[in-house]
Structure formats: C-alpha cells, structure tokens
Amino acid sequence: MRYLILSDIHANLEALDAVLEHADGQWDQSLVLGDLVGYGADPGAVITRVQALEPVAIIRGNHDKVACGLEDAREFNNIARSAAVWTAAQLSDAHRDYLRTLPMGPTEIDDHVEICHGAPFDEDHYIFDSSDARRALAEASRALCLFGHTHIPIVFRRVDDVFSGGAPDPDSETVVPLQRGVRYLINPGSVGQPRDGDARAGYGILDDETHELTMIRVRYRVEEAQAKILAAGLPPSLAHRLALGR
C-alpha cells in the first residue's frame, strides 16, 4: 500500500492541485493530517477536493475546529483570527458539517503507523524542539507517527535511548528508510503554508511494502494563490508570506 500524506493545506487550492498532479499514479490511499482550511482563499474548493480523495484516515486541525465553530479563535493572533472569521463566513453548511465530523488525532492506521495533527499527547501542541519530540516518541502508540501543525518538514528518530533529528535536504527528494526497531516522528511539511523558507508545497508518500517514506517538494502557481487572497480582502501578509515560505 502506498499512502499519499497531506497536511496543512490551509485553503490553498493551487498548492493542493499541484501536489495531486505531481503525485498522480504514485499512491493508493490518502492520509490527511488536518488544517484543510484557514489563511487561504479557497476553503470550500479544498474541502471538496479532499472529500473526493476519500481518505482512508483524516483528522482535524485547529483551524478546522475554529472555522466550523467547534472552538473560538481566542488563541489565534490577529491575522489568523481575521482569516478564521472570513473562512467561517465562506463555508457552506455541508462543508461546515464535514469539518465538524473530522475526528481528533491521534488515529492509528495499522500496526505500524499513526497520525496526529500536533502531537500524540495533544492535538494542538507544536513540536519544535527535541524535548517535545522525545515526549511525542515516548507517547506514540506506533513505530511511525506522522504529524503536522508546524508546517516544517522534519524527521526525528529514536533507537533505544539514542535520539536524533533533522530537516530533509531541500534540494532533492528525501527518502527515509523505515528500519525495524527504530521509532520515527515525521512531519511531511505543509501543502499550502510552508514555513521553512521554501515556498514549494510539501507532501509525502509512504510505501509500506518498501518501508520507505519519501518527502517531496513541488512548485505551484504562488502568484495565483496570492492574487486570490488579496482579492478576497484577507490580510495582505497572508499573500506575501507564500512567496517566502514563512
């Protein structure tokens, strides 16, 4: 089985379409790690695209919860709050109901893989440093835990008491061999809002037969996504940051 891994699309239709085109023919089932909406100008179209994928597993992100009314935006900064209010007003009742039905993570995929949005111990927690990564690896129920939320691709490993972590090479596809006896915590990167200084959309392919996870970056029509954000009256910084990958 080959899994297409999508995280943090954030209503960026141009990025999602570029990823789906690039990944065509390379996957059998999809896994979606949350935050379909927020920031971008195409929340409804992105939800429809994701629904059409019929993911074998999908979980909610914090922006999904706020957009559908499950939580308020008090924890968001002013720009994120403004985008959340705009997003909520754009959603149809059907799309809003769909977001409400998304389960919280973590979700176990099989005997080896689980997914979460933030961390196995808290769906909204950001894993940025080794301390949080160590805790997540300790609390994960599977040897491979896939997470999102930070928008930064990274691979953490633990073999017995030996811990390591690092970002993938941005200049090439990164293939991570999944070795027996090693525990992994991997963020495949963000489809629609990369924040590692690379504006390209990020996604992953997990092959459970070759026991490899490939982390991939793909160019998309950033200018079109930016133009839509500005035309919608969303904060201009949300458009500008797309070109910077920040």
Q: Which amino acid is at 40?
A: G
- The confidence score (pLDDT) of residue 1 equals 94
Is residue 169 over pLDDT 90?
no
Per-residue pLDDT, averaged over 112-140, amounts to 97
- Residue 181 domain boundaries: 2-244
- In the chain, alpha helices (H): 13-22, 43-53, 62-67, 78-90, 93-101, 130-139, 222-231, 236-244
Q: Scan for tokens 């939320």, then name that residue.
A: 149
Q: How many structural domains does the chain have?
A: 1
SS3 annotation, 78-99: HHHHHHHHHHHHHCCHHHHHHH
pLDDT, tens digit, 9 for 90 and up, residues 199-225:
999 999 999 999 999 999 999 999 999
Predicted TM-score (pTM) above 0.85: yes
The whole-angstrom separation of Cα 191 and Cα 7 is 6
Is residue 179 over pLDDT 90?
yes
- The confidence score (pLDDT) of residue 35 equals 98
For the domain that residue 226 is a member of, what is the CATH number? Answer: 3.60.21.10
The whole-angstrom separation of Cα 208 and Cα 25 is 16
- The confidence score (pLDDT) of residue 204 equals 98
Of the chain, the percentage scoring pLDDT greater than 90 comes to 95
The whole-angstrom separation of Cα 190 and Cα 179 is 25
Q: Scan for tokens 């990025």, then name that residue.
A: 15
- The confidence score (pLDDT) of residue 211 equals 96
